[in-house]
Structure 1
Amino acid sequence: MQKSTSMFGKITILCLLILGTVRISASHENAIRVIHGTDVKEDEFPYVIVLIRKNAFFVSRLCTGSMLTQYWGLSAGHCKETFTPEYSIYVWYGNFSLSPFYTENYIPVVEWNLHPSYRVLNFKNHPDLIVDNDVSLFRIEPELRLASYARLSALDRDSLLGHSVIYIGGGTTKTVGGANEKFQRPLKRGEGSITSCDFEIRLKSKHVACIKPKCDLRFQFPWYGDSGGPLIHDEQIVGVCCFVVNASDFFQGAFVPISPYVDWISYVINSKKIEKLKR
C-alpha cells in the first residue's frame, strides 16, 4: 500500500479503490460501499457484476465491473493489481443476496488486459499521486449469457458537463474501521451530475470526469470495492469508477471517461475473436 499527502489530505492507493480519506466521520469510515446509496434490484442492471477473489481459505468482494459481451468485461485498471497466483478471480453475476457458490452464478476470469498507458505513480518527493488511463478489460470462460450487456457511450467528457448520471458499486467485504459487511448483499446505486474537477484532482489525473452529488445527497459517494463500477448516462456507460477525494464540503468522485478508450476496447475484443477463429 502506498501513501501520499496533499492539501486534500491523505490519498491512499488500495487494491480496492484509489481513495482520498480526509475528515471522514466514523460512520463513513465504517462503511465499505456506496455511501448513502440505494439498493439495486436484481434485474435492474444485469450487466453489472462483482469481481471476487478466492483461495482455499478466503473469499471476498474485490471490485465492480460491467459485462460488454458474453466473454468480456470492463473494470478499473488498478483492480488488476490483485490478480496474483495466490488467488483465483471470478465474475459474480445475477443475485448478489445469495452466495454465488450456492447459486453457481460465478465464472473464472482467465485473462486481464490493462490499458497500455495505465500508470499509478507515487514518488517519494512528489506531493501527490498520479493516476492515468485507469481502465482494464477482463475475459471469462465459459461464456456468460445475460438479458442485456453494457453499451458504451462515445460522448466526450466536456459534452456531459452538467448532465445527470448514476453509478453502481458492489462494495467489498474488507474490514475497514471495524466494519465487515456480509458477503451477500445487493449492489448500491448513487446519483449526481458531471462537474468540472477541482485543480487538485486534475493534478492527480488530467483525464477524469468528476461527480457532484445532489444537494439532498451531499454525502453520497463511491467507496471501497466500487472501483471499476460503471458511470451511466442515458442507459450507456460514460465512465469507470477510479477514486474519490474530499472537495471541501462534499466528497467528489472521479471517474475515467470511457469515450477515449472505445477504439482500444473494440481492438482488444475483436483481436481475440480473430485469434480464436484462426485456431
Structure 2
Amino acid sequence: MKTVVVLLTLIFFANGKEEARIVGGEELDDISDYMFVVALVSKRGEFAGGGTLIDSRHVITAAHCWQGNGKVVVGSNDLISNGKEYSVKRFVSHPDYTTHRTIANDIAVIILSEDVSEITEFPKRPTAKLNDYDTSCKVLGKGVTGYPEPGTLSKKLKLAYVKPVPQSECRDKWKEWSSSFKVDDKTICTFSDDAAALMGDSGGPLLCDDKLTGVVSFGMPSGGGYPDVFTEVYFYNDWIDYVIKNY
C-alpha cells in the first residue's frame, strides 16, 4: 500500500497540486474540433482535471479526479473561464476503482444537471480492444507547461501525438520503478519522445482513430522514460451504458 501512495503523490493532478504534468505538445488556438473536451472545476473554483463529453449529458473522466467537483466547463480555451458552466448532478465512480497495490478501474461518469446545448458531435467509443501499436493517437489537456519547474497551467487546450506500447513492455518498465507495482490489464500505455508524462490532465481523453479510447490515469512526472497509462474505455462500455440508463 505504501508504494502506491507514493506513486499517487508523484502522478496524480488533484487538489491543485502539480502532480500530473504536461510537457511538450502544441497549444490549440482553434478548439472547434475538440469542443467535447471539458474542464472539471472544484467547489473552490479551481481547475480539477479534464473529461470528455460522450453525449449531451454525460462526461467520462478518471475516478481519482473527484474532489466534490461543483461544475463542468464546456467550450473554454482559457483554462476555465469564458466557457459555459454546467452543474454536476452526480459523479459515479466505477465500483471496483482501487489504488491498492495497483491503480485499476480508474474511470467515472459525470452526469450533468442539464443537456449541453452548444455541442452536437461527440466521440464514439471503441467496440474492440486496441491492438494496433503502429497507430498514432492524440492526448488532450491543459496541464502545466514545464517540469521540474512547474510553470503555470496552460490556458489553452494542448494536443500531443503518442504511440501505444504493448502491455508487456509497459509492465516491465514500471517494475523498474517498483517490483510490487503491476499495471492493470484494462489499460493502454503510450509513449512519446516529444511530449512527456501525461500530455493530458488527469481524466482527459486519449483519442485513437478519433474514438475515445482511453482516459488519462497516471504516469511519471516529465516522463522519465516510463510509459503513460490510460484506462481503456472499451472494457467499460457495458458499465458506462448501465450508468447512462439507470442514473
CA RMSD of superposed structures (Å): 3.2
Alignment of 1:204-243 (within 5 A): 204-214=183-193, 217=194, 219-222=195-198, 226-243=201-218
- 1:192 maps to amino acid: V
Which residue of the partner structure matches residue 36 of structure 2? 47
1:75 aligned onto 2:61: yes
Greater share of residues in strand: 1
Alignment of 1:116-127 (within 5 A): 116-121=95-100
Instruction: Quote the offset at 1:153 in angstroms.
Output: 1.1
- 1:269 maps to amino acid: I
Instruction: Quote the offset at 1:97 in angstroms.
Output: 1.8
* 8 Å contact from structure 1 (residues 32, 179) kept in 2: no
Q: In structure 2, how many angstroms separate the alpha carbons of the residues matched to 1:188 and 1:257?
A: 21
State the TM-score, normalizing by the size of structure 2. Answer: 0.81
Give deviations 1:163-206, integer Å, cap 9, x for gaps. 21111112279xx9774626x71111111111122325471423
Please state whether the residue corresponding to 2:231 is helix, strand or coil: strand
Please state whether the residue corresponding to 1:44 is helix, strand or coil: helix
Please state whether the residue corresponding to 2:7 is helix, strand or coil: strand
1:189 aligned onto 2:120: no
Which residue of the partner structure matches residue 277 of structure 1? none
Q: In structure 1, how many angstroms separate the alpha carbons of the residues matched to 2:22 and 2:150?
A: 14
Which residue of the partner structure matches residue 169 of structure 1? 141
Which residue of the partner structure matches residue 94 of structure 2? 115
Alignment of 1:18-37 (within 5 A): 33-37=21-25
- 2:127 maps to amino acid: A
* 8 Å contact from structure 1 (residues 231, 239) kept in 2: yes
Which residue of the partner structure matches residue 106 of structure 2? 134
* 8 Å contact from structure 1 (residues 33, 188) kept in 2: no
State the TM-score, normalizing by the size of structure 1. Answer: 0.72
Instruction: Quote the offset at 1:271 in angstroms.
Output: 2.0
Give deviations 1:138-169, integer Å, cap 9, x for gaps. 11112112142221112203x23332111111
Which residue of the partner structure matches residue 11 of structure 1? 7
Q: In structure 1, how many angstroms separate the alpha carbons of the residues matched to 2:125 and 2:25?
A: 23
Unaligned ranges ≥5, structure 1: 19-28, 122-128, 273-279
Q: In structure 1, how many angstroms separate the alpha carbons of the residues matched to 2:79 and 2:162?
A: 29
Q: In structure 2, how many angstroms separate the alpha carbons of the residues matched to 1:69 and 1:15?
A: 29
Identity of aligned residues (%): 20
1:62 aligned onto 2:48: yes
* 8 Å contact from structure 2 (residues 196, 223) kept in 1: no
Relative to structure 1, the CA distance from residue 187 to residue 178 in structure 2 (aligned partners, 3 Å threshold; closer, same or farther) is same
Relative to structure 1, the CA distance from residue 30 to residue 239 in structure 2 (aligned partners, 3 Å threshold; closer, same or farther) is closer
Relative to structure 1, the CA distance from residue 95 to residue 232 in structure 2 (aligned partners, 3 Å threshold; closer, same or farther) is same
Q: In structure 2, how many angstroms separate the alpha carbons of the residues matched to 1:70 and 1:15?
A: 30
* 8 Å contact from structure 2 (residues 36, 53) kept in 1: yes
Q: In structure 1, how many angstroms separate the alpha carbons of the residues matched to 2:203 and 2:32?
A: 20
- 2:112 maps to amino acid: I
- 1:67 maps to amino acid: L
1:253 aligned onto 2:224: no
1:96 aligned onto 2:72: no
Q: In structure 2, how many angstroms separate the alpha carbons of the residues matched to 1:106 and 1:247?
A: 31
Count of residue correspondences: 233
Which residue of the partner structure matches residue 38 of structure 1? 26
* 8 Å contact from structure 1 (residues 16, 63) kept in 2: no
